Structure 1
Amino acid sequence: MSTEDFDYLLNKIKLQITKKDTVLRKAISAEERFAVTLRFLATGDSFQSLGYLFKISPQVISNIVPEVCNALISVLKDEIKLPKTSQEWLTIAKGFEELWNFPHCLGALDGKHIVIQSPFNSGSEYYNYKTSFSVVLMAAVDANYCLIYAEVGCQGRISDGGVFKHTVLYDKLEREHLEIPLDAPLIIDHERTLLPFLFVADDAFPLRRNIMKPYPGVHSKGSTQRIFNYRLSRARRIVENAFGILASVFRVFRKPMLLQPNKVSIITMTCILLHNFLRRSKTSSTRYTPQGTLDVEIEGRAIPGSWREDQTEMSSFLPLTRIARKPSMEAKTIRDKFAEYFNTSGKIEWQDKYC
């Protein structure tokens, strides 16, 4: 984070986190409170360790961190918002088509288990199939690695197949309250074919009219299914990079969080909002994600970003399980149409080399 952005955020939250001096002692300054919180998010150090560094008691730090995080959430809440109009969705879709050659894409979906310590008196409420305790983060990302939707706090015991159904995004999809643009034509075999706008996801999500996932199984080189999977993975890789950057920069995610679920949710949402803020900042974006951090492609050849070197240490971010589901015939047909498009008029030069 640049000095300018540090000062900007501090001025935004100063009134909310400043405490009054008393006759017995001086209050901890807003600058120190903000610095302690950022240090905790960036390193994941224990409150005891931070206490030695800042000369503040661990008990006080345990109150400072969630208080400052709540203040950051209140001033940065507009950094994440679902599009409210068809035109806003079309802007996102244009980004995916121009940058990742996937038309009609509204975002990349994924979810992660955030490992926590066993909460007090919770029984098996947060105990997941991976034999650990967790809360679940569900997110959708645009073509520029910024989150347009995030929901955190679902108990780890809920099956991965059911986690998505507990989200606001799923509810709005079901009720058709997302203002998704109407079906638009793509040219397939010299004919205009109407196809819907959709989200791309992996096998942990259902195949639906507005959610596309890969064809299951292994497919022969050059096959229609393999090319579709390649094109979908190029678009879906954006959300993998976003999670990778989060865990790489905010090292509080490197190990199980020794906090109660409500505080874990607050800290996670703060990191996500800061991620979007720093990605969009003119003075901090190149510091936050310097060249080489993200995956890049040169004529279709993928060059892994530096965040992938840290994957073995990301013990707090666990993937959702891939679950087999029986999709509708309509969803299958839509996937087949997109696959046909990627093999005809939507073909890109280098896909034959890697498919």
Structure 2
Amino acid sequence: MTEPKFNVLLNLLREKLQRFSRREPIDEETRLGMTLIYLSQGCSPQFLAFSYKMGVSTVRKTIYETCDAIWNELHAIYVAQPSLTEWKNIANGFYMKSGMPHCLGAVDGKHVNIICPKRSGSLYYNYKKTFSIVLMAACDADYSYTFVDVGALGSQSDGGVFAHRAFGNMILRNNIMLPPDDSLPGSDRNFPYFFVGDNAFPLKRNLMRPYPGRNLPTTKLNFNKKLSSARVHIENAFGIPANRWRILHTTPQVAPNNVDKIVLATVVLHNYLMLDRSSGYFSENLVDRVEDGVFIPGTWRQSTTDLRPIRISQANRSSAEAFALREELAD
């Protein structure tokens, strides 16, 4: 983060970070700087307490309050639901980059490891034999988040998380203001706009997933290839912040509700910094790309991360209309 970007962020949050007391309070710049060090380096509150000559409980409280302020003050600006014009621009971006028309975003979920909360039983125990909460998100063609949902229990399957959380419900119940049906490139047939996901998600009118199985005909193989080219954007959108915000590589020794605040703060900061591609936060080498017909994985894949994929559900019922739409799109 450059100094000008830090100062802009500080000015946006200054009012929420101000404190008043008889003793001299911790100033806003220190609060924000300490929180950014914690998120970007993944260091312990004990280390920050020693560095800043503060109590550990004071450092923890400051970090959680600052993360809360970052989300509450800035998510309406940097993680706002796109307008109809912005949806169209996102679809154009996906078509230019992946060849998938009418795609409004890629959807996926990741497990964020936590310590086992007291008296929680197996609520947070996931299929990887760790304890976690689930981050469900959608991104655009520029690796910025358009929707996020954090806090689902790690023991839930992806289908359960997607169906019962607000974000999934908005897609499944078609409660998002999406552009009206429009003609596909090279066709006069109107077709709905949609999100893309892997086989973990149900096939719906506004949610496409790949064809299952092997030895598929050429038409279906080509469809899966194009859909994968669009869906990989969400993998990269998870990989970039995991590479930049090292707290996501650790297992924070905090309560689940505070983990939610930490993750949501990194989401907002990711979108904030992605707006300026010259700041040094993002580079093309970070993400997957194709050069001269050769696939080159992003450098974020070279570092291990505790963000684990969600598991595949076995109960994804789809309508005959959804199957027919996928066939039409594949053709």
TM-score (norm 2): 0.93
* Structure exhibiting the larger radius of gyration computed from Cα positions: 1
Instruction: Please state if 1:40 is matched with 2:38.
Output: yes
Instruction: Please state if 1:258 is matched with 2:253.
Output: yes
| 2:188 maps to which of 192, 199, 219 | 192
* Structure 1 letter corresponding to 2:197: A
Aligned to 1:80: 79
Answer yes or no: is the 8 Å Cα contact 1:2–1:283 preserved in 2. Answer: no
Deviation at 1:171, TM superposition (A): 2.3
Instruction: Please state if 1:289 is matched with 2:287.
Output: no
CA distance in 2, matches of 1:282, 1:319: 27
CA distance in 1, matches of 2:91, 2:325: 17
Instruction: Please state if 1:11 is matched with 2:11.
Output: yes
1:243 counterpart SS class:
helix
Deviation at 1:20, TM superposition (A): 3.7
**CA 1:305–1:174 in 2, change beyond 3 Å: closer, same or farther?**
closer
* Structure 2 letter corresponding to 1:143: A
1:62-92 deviation line (CA, Å, top 9, x unaligned):
10101111121233112002224x3332221
1:314 counterpart SS class:
coil
**CA 1:127–1:283 in 2, change beyond 3 Å: closer, same or farther?**
same
Answer yes or no: is the 8 Å Cα contact 1:187–1:193 preserved in 2. Answer: no
1:89-147 deviation line (CA, Å, top 9, x unaligned):
22211111122211010100000111100112222222223222211111010111110
CA distance in 2, matches of 1:181, 1:164: 22
* Structure 2 letter corresponding to 1:13: L
CA distance in 1, matches of 2:260, 2:139: 19
**CA 1:108–1:298 in 2, change beyond 3 Å: closer, same or farther?**
same
Answer yes or no: is the 8 Å Cα contact 1:111–1:139 preserved in 2. Answer: yes
| 1:229 maps to which of 209, 224, 233 | 224
Answer yes or no: is the 8 Å Cα contact 2:157–2:313 preserved in 1. Answer: no
User: Which portions of structure 1, spanning 4 or more consecutive aligned residues, are displaced by more than 4 angstroms?
Assistant: none
**CA 1:166–1:280 in 2, change beyond 3 Å: closer, same or farther?**
same
CA distance in 1, matches of 2:127, 2:284: 37
* Structure 2 letter corresponding to 1:63: K
Aligned to 1:273: 268
Aligned to 1:307: 300
Deviation at 1:299, TM superposition (A): 4.5
**CA 1:18–1:186 in 2, change beyond 3 Å: closer, same or farther?**
closer
* Structure 1 letter corresponding to 2:259: V
1:243-282 deviation line (CA, Å, top 9, x unaligned):
0011111110102221111111111010000000000036
Structure 1 regions of 5+ residues with no counterpart?
Answer: 341-355
Deviation at 1:12, TM superposition (A): 2.1
CA distance in 2, matches of 1:206, 1:265: 26
| 1:215 maps to which of 187, 203, 211 | 211
2:286 counterpart SS class:
coil
Residues 1-355 of structure 1: pairs in structure 2 closer than 5 A? 1-20=1-20, 22=22, 26-77=24-75, 78-84=77-83, 86-186=84-184, 192-219=188-215, 223-281=218-276, 284=279, 287-310=280-303, 313-315=304-306, 317-324=307-314, 325-340=316-331
CA distance in 1, matches of 2:33, 2:86: 36
Answer yes or no: is the 8 Å Cα contact 2:101–2:185 preserved in 1. Answer: no
Answer yes or no: is the 8 Å Cα contact 2:236–2:288 preserved in 1. Answer: yes
**CA 1:187–1:68 in 2, change beyond 3 Å: closer, same or farther?**
closer
CA distance in 1, matches of 2:70, 2:185: 46
Answer yes or no: is the 8 Å Cα contact 2:122–2:155 preserved in 1. Answer: yes
TM-score (norm 1): 0.87
CA distance in 1, matches of 2:172, 2:197: 17
1:12-67 deviation line (CA, Å, top 9, x unaligned):
22232233463xx5332222221110011011111112222222221111101011
1:192 counterpart SS class:
coil
**CA 1:214–1:165 in 2, change beyond 3 Å: closer, same or farther?**
same
